[in-house]
Chain A
Amino acid sequence: DSGVTQTPKHLITATGQRVTLRCSPRSGDLSVYWYQQSLDQGLQFLIQYYNGEERAKGNILERFSAQQFPDLHSELNLSSLELGDSALYFCASSVALAWNEQFFGPGTRLTVL
């Protein structure tokens, strides 16, 4: 157990819908990263937050957004869902910017039907 938690574990929804994925970092970790894992694209970085502020953006679609709250938990919002958005979404956390190690949560498996 990495200490990073994610809810829900599984999510099944229809095209065009909107979902919210939640992540709680390890106690004391200030940085949160979101990654998408699909069969054809592998593990891809989406977005990073540090202490409530967006720090880096990767291949994140405009339909996707995220935020980090004062208690440091983070939410990833996916809207206007398409079949191709079906994937495993992982959150990872690290202590601080000077500390590179990232520890992954168990992931949320999103299925868009």
Chain B
Amino acid sequence: GENVEQHPSTLSVQEGDSAVIKCTYSDSASNYFPWYKQELGKRPQLIIDIRSNVGEKKDQRIAVTLNKTAKHFSLHITETQPEDSAVYFCAASKGQGGKLIFGQGTELSVKP
């Protein structure tokens, strides 16, 4: 069945360090991979996404890489700041406008 595994479940870094969150998906037909940031009690907010025809995408301090062969994608945050502290979710979907299958989430804590 469709499944997305996300690691680690918690991640603590010092301000200015980099953070990496990894996800693995099971359905090889998946073609769209978004990342969401969710602050406590708030809505998931789309921060970056990547499609299966692209290997890497960058937006300022955040980047996402995709390895279709390994069915693996990762979120990289550089120069972390305390306001980056939140829960981050990866997701995968297939087809056009398909449902999102979410990973279990990573609680990122950036210590000043």
Contacts and interface: CB of A to CB of B under 8 A. Distances in A.
A104 B99 contact: no
Interface stretch (A11-19, A43-51, A66-74, A75-83): A43-51
Interface size range on B against A: 20 to 34
Interface string B78-102: 0000000000010101001111111
Given A31-B97, A43-B89, A96-B97, A102 B102 contact: no
Given A42-B105, A99-B97, A106 B34 contact: no
Nearest to B97: A97
Given A42-B105, A45-B101, A100-B49, A105 B96 contact: no
A102 B98 CA distance: 10
A7 to B, nearest CB: 14
Contacts of A90: 43-44
Given A100-B93, A101-B34, A102-B34, A45 B45 contact: no
Interface in B1-46: 32, 34, 36, 42-46
Interface size range on A against B: 20 to 34
A64 interface: no
A113 interface: no
B43 A2 contact: yes
Interface of B: 32, 34, 36, 42-46, 49, 51, 89, 91, 93, 96-105
7 contacts: A43-B44, A45-B99, A58-B99, A97-B97, A100-B49, A104-B45, A106-B43
